[in-house]
Structure 1
Amino acid sequence: MNASALLVETFDRLPELVHAAVDGLSPEQLRWSPASGTNPIGWLVWHLTRVQDDHLAEVIGEPQVWVGDGWARRFGLTADPADTGYGHSAGQVAAVAPENAAALVDYYTAVADRTRRFLVGLTDADLDRIVDERWDPPVTLGARLVSVANDDLQHVGQAGWLRGLLSATG
């Protein structure tokens, strides 16, 4: 298996996990959290999608999916490309209000489709390309993609765990 196929395999596992975390939940359930100051399911899935959208758009050299097609409106937000959820206060977390589970799934699907199209065309040599010189050492495309996959997998796991907790609390 080459690196492109490995990355496709990794990212292709996420859509099913996103669906499992949010399908059938009401807007209120998507905004539920077990305690004050904790991130709800809807925010976690929105955030993991925003990070993937932001980071992939940068390395692909295209605008973020978020800024087009009215995505922000479906979450009660503005189409600010810098807003990925990093450093959100409790108030900012609460402001992320997906209109329904379909908004999360649809946005994730649009981002995942673009990600997959990009990954399929990668060569192993592409992964050594420097994509961010603000770090020491500079970040390669391979490291950036692993970072995005890691972040996404952690957050979708958290969302799945919260889904189970929500079900258990009735």
Structure 2
Amino acid sequence: MSNNQHSISIFRDQLQFAQNWLEGTLQGVTQELAHWQPNGKAHPIGSQVVHVITTQDFFIHQLLQGKTPLMAGDFAEKTGFNMPPPQGNRDEWAAHVQINMDTLKQYAQAVYDATDTYLSTLSDSDLDRKLDLTNLGFGVQNVAFVFNLLILNLYCHTGEISCLKGLQGLQGYPG
């Protein structure tokens, strides 16, 4: 690690840890479990995973690099879900999306790898670059905000997934 990548190194470590925590929590999730619809407004496990991975794919590729997200490029038709999540309310989508967890896991790994590769090209000063995220409801932020948001998103939804597993008598978090 160079002296100008201290913060980048921390973000890389945090993202890798959060991604591994998600993947560990997903151990034992079957196709049936991925589609189980709990009472109330909670979304099924599979749709939670799709949201987390597609958000990271979009932010890393399109938002930060101006590139096509993997789900619309190299992984088009190979993501493990039959329809992408909409922007905004996902209730209807979450109730109907069909997910193949094995294929989704391959897409997720590609997103994780692409994220780490992108981070390895940045220096700490790149984290200060301003982004207009007004259309996403966040106003003007910097690149560091995006990485913090991705980490938060991973942990929040991993917690929801752990709870959904627990409601079915399964261990949630790895351990």
Contact 1:22 1:30 in 2 (8 A): no
Secondary structure of the residue aligned to 1:139 is strand
1:71 is matched with: 78
1:118 is matched with: 118
Higher mean alpha-carbon deviation, 143-152 vs 128-137, is at 128-137
Matches within 5 A, 1:1-170: 2-57=6-61, 58-68=63-73, 69=75, 70-72=77-79, 74-77=80-83, 83=85, 86-89=88-91, 91-99=92-100, 101-132=101-132, 134=134, 138-168=140-170
Give the percent of matched residue pairs that are identical in Structure 1 and Structure 2.
22
Alpha-carbon RMSD across the aligned residues, in angstroms, is: 2.3
Secondary structure of the residue aligned to 2:168 is helix
State the alpha-carbon separation in 2 of the partners of residues 156 and 62 from structure 1: 27
State the alpha-carbon separation in 2 of the partners of residues 127 and 139 from structure 1: 10
Structure 2 gap ranges (5+): 171-175
- Higher RCO, 1 vs 2 (CA within 8 Å, ≥6 residues apart): 1
Cα deviation code 1:101-150 (max 9, x no counterpart): 21232121111110001112221110110122637862111111111211
Contact 1:130 1:138 in 2 (8 A): yes
Contact 2:128 2:143 in 1 (8 A): yes
* TM-aligned CA deviation for residue 85 of structure 1: 5.6
Gap change, CA 1:43 and 1:136, over 3 Å in 2: closer
Paired residues in the alignment total 162
Contact 1:132 1:138 in 2 (8 A): yes
**TM-score w.r.t. structure 2 length?**
0.81
**TM-score w.r.t. structure 1 length?**
0.83
Contact 2:19 2:154 in 1 (8 A): no
Secondary structure of the residue aligned to 1:6 is helix
